[in-house]
Chains A and B, each alone.
Chain A
Amino acid sequence: MDNGGFVVAAYVVTAVLLSLYTWRLARRVRQARDVATGKLRGA
C-alpha cells in the first residue's frame, strides 16, 4: 500500500504553516517598527 499522499500532506502542511507564520511575523515586526518610530518621533 502506498501512503505517499499522507507524507506529502504532512510536509506541505508543515511548510505552509511555518512559511505563513514567518511571513506574518516579518510583516508585524515591520509595522511595529514603523509605529514605534512614528510615536517616538511624535513624542
Chain B
Amino acid sequence: MRTVSWISIQRLGKVAGLLALPSLAIGLYLGLVWAPPDAMMGNVQRIMYVHFPSWIATALAYVTAFVCSILYLVRRRESYDYLAQAGVEVGVLFNTTGLITGSIWGRPTWGVWWTWDPRLTTTAIMLVIFVGYLLVRAFLEDLDARARVGALVAIMGFVTLPVVYFSVRWWRTLHQPQSSPSTVDPRMVLALRVMMIAFALTASYLMSRRYELARLEAAAERAEVEPGMTDG
C-alpha cells in the first residue's frame, strides 16, 4: 500500500512538472505581453501574475501540510509525515516569493516597501510559524517526536491561513480586498488563471520531489538506528 502511494505521488509529480514548464511559458507570455496594462497602475500591475499565483501555491502547499498532519496524527503512517514536510517547505518558498513580490509591488503603488498592515502582518506571522516548523524538526532527534510535534505546529500554523484570507475584510487595510473576475478585463483573467495553474503545478512537482527526499532521509536514518531495516 505504501509503495503504491509512493509511486502515485512520484508519477503525479512528474506529470505536474512536465505540464508546469509550458504552462509557465504560456502564462508569462499572456501576462507580460498579451494582457493589457491596468488603467490606473499601468504596467506595474503585471506583478499580479506572479504575486497572486504565489499565494495559490502557498495555500495548496499549506493545505497539503495541514491535511497530512491530521492524517499522520490519526493513522500514524510515515508517508503522511513526509508529505506534510514537503507541503511546509514548498509553502515557505512560495510564501516568501509572495511577500517579496508584494513588497516590490507596494513600493510604486503605496509608496512603501513594507507597512504593518493587517494583511501583510498576518502573512508574515504565517511565514514565521512555518519556518518555526522547519526549525523544530531540525532540532528534534527522535523520529516519532519530530513527526508528532511537527504535525501540531503545522496544524497551528494553518489556522493563520483563513485569518490571512479574511484580514482584508475584517480590518481596515491598505491591501485591496478580493476582486471579482467580472470587473476585470477577460485577458487579464485568462493570464492570471494560466499562471495560477502553472504555479500550482510547479508546487505539486516540488512537493513530490521533497516527499522523495523525506522518504530517503527517513530510510537512511532508520538504517543507521536499526541496521538491517529497510523502507518499502
Give the residue of B43, B97, B224 whose beta carbon is less than 8 angstroms from that of A14.
Answer: B97
**B228 interface residue per 8 A CB criterion:** yes
Interfacial chain A residues near B219, Cβ < 8 Å: 36, 40
Give the residue of A7, A25, A35 whose beta carbon is less than 8 angstroms from that of B210.
Answer: A25
**B54 interface residue per 8 A CB criterion:** yes
Known contacts A7-B32, A9-B104, A10-B105; 10 further A-B pairs (Cβ under 8 A) = A2-B42, A3-B44, A10-B100, A11-B50, A14-B50, A17-B93, A29-B209, A29-B216, A39-B220, A39-B224
B101 touches A10 (CB 8 A): yes
- For the residues of A in contact with B, the DSSP-based class is helix
Q: A6-B107, A17-B97, A39-B223 are in contact. Are A29 and B213 (CB under 8 A)?
A: yes
B 203-232 binary contact with A (CB < 8 Å = 1; else 0): 000100110110011011001100111100
A 7-23 binary contact with B (CB < 8 Å = 1; else 0): 10111011001100110
Least distance between B164 CB and chain A CB atoms (Å): 19
A22 to B220: give the CA distance in the assembly, Å: 22
A13 touches B97 (CB 8 A): yes
A29 to B105: give the CA distance in the assembly, Å: 34
Interfacial chain A residues near B220, Cβ < 8 Å: 32, 35-36, 39
Interfacial chain A residues near B104, Cβ < 8 Å: 6, 9-10, 13
B97 touches A18 (CB 8 A): yes
Least distance between A1 CB and chain B CB atoms (Å): 7
**B119 interface residue per 8 A CB criterion:** no
B 46-77 binary contact with A (CB < 8 Å = 1; else 0): 11001100100000000000000000000000
Q: How large is the interface on B (under 10, 10 to 19, 20 to 34, 35 or more residues)?
A: 35 or more
Q: A3-B44, A13-B101, A14-B101 are in contact. Are A36 and B216 (CB under 8 A)?
A: yes
**B23 interface residue per 8 A CB criterion:** no
Interfacial chain B residues near A21, Cβ < 8 Å: 93, 206
**B22 interface residue per 8 A CB criterion:** no
Q: Can you name 27 A-B residue pairings with CB atoms under 8 Å? A: A1-B42, A3-B41, A7-B32, A10-B104, A10-B105, A11-B28, A11-B32, A11-B50, A13-B100, A14-B101, A17-B96, A17-B100, A18-B97, A26-B209, A29-B209, A29-B216, A32-B216, A32-B220, A33-B216, A35-B220, A36-B219, A39-B223, A40-B219, A43-B227, A43-B228, A43-B229, A43-B230
